[in-house]
Amino acid sequence: MKKLIVLLASLAILMESQAQFKQASLHYSFSDLEPYIDSTTMIIHYTQHHATYTKRLNETIEKNPELKNLTIIDLLKLADKLTQEVQLSVKNNGGGYFNHNFFWSILAPAGSTTISPAMSKMIENSFGSIENFKTEFEKAAMSRFGSGWVWLIKTKNGKLIVTSTANQDSPFTISKNKLGTPILNLDVWEHAYYLKYQSKRASYIKAFWNVVNWNEVEKLATE
């Protein structure tokens, strides 16, 4: 069954190869984040949820050729200025497209990366300690009502802050956060954890720390 889903998804991706926005390829296999993120969740999340946002975003771009050739970030920043229907699609499908590509990039198999001394220093400078940072991030993830995302953002002055967004909003579509660059995010939609963790969002959030790609986070923080 899993093989069939992967095969069908691969065909769909092949057919979409002419589209402007494409799902980022994963740097690990669907099962590599086990046991913290299970492979069935990864398969459904990547080949169904993320694929659908991507497909619908491309359909919106096809229907609105004036939006062609913008980067996804420029498109998200522009969302507020678009007509309501296009704005909704850009926020939901464009946000879903970007947020997931970003999420896949900051994940890695457990034990494959660690927080470097430089990254630790950066976190300590903003939160006092790694532990305080994790507590604040977990609190934001737990208190996000309904569906959404939690973010670690580097602001223009270099300070790191934690914030959360509803639905598929991103730091680029939320005006108060537009000045920041995301360097880490976590999907707290139920589809991201329900198969394994059911209603225990807190357990999923704790498990997430095991599969963070700290090399990528540091790269984003120092770009």
Enumerate binding residues for Mn ion (CB under 5 A): 187, 189, 192
Q: Which is nearer to Mn ion, 46 or 127 (CB)?
A: 46
**DSSP assignment letter at 107:** B
* Position 143, amino acid: S
Point out the residue whose Cβ comes nearest to Mn ion.
Answer: 187
Is the CB of residue 191 less than 8 Å from the CB of residue 45? Answer: yes
Q: How far is CA 136 from CA 33, 43, 126, 139, 173, in A?
A: 24, 30, 11, 5, 22
Q: Which residues contact 39 (CB under 8 A, 6 or more apart)?
A: 2, 29, 30, 31, 33
Nearer to Mn ion, 67 or 211 (CB): 211
In the complex, the smallest distance separating the C-beta of residue 147 from Mn ion, rounded to whole angstroms, is: 8
Q: CB of 45: closest distance to Mn ion in angstroms?
A: 6
In angstroms, give the least distance from the CB of 187 to Mn ion: 4
Whole-angstrom distance, CA of residue 73 vs CA of residue 133: 26
Cβ nearer to Mn ion, comparing 130 with 142 = 142
Nearer to Mn ion, 5 or 130 (CB): 5
- CB of residue 87 to Mn ion, shortest distance in Å: 21
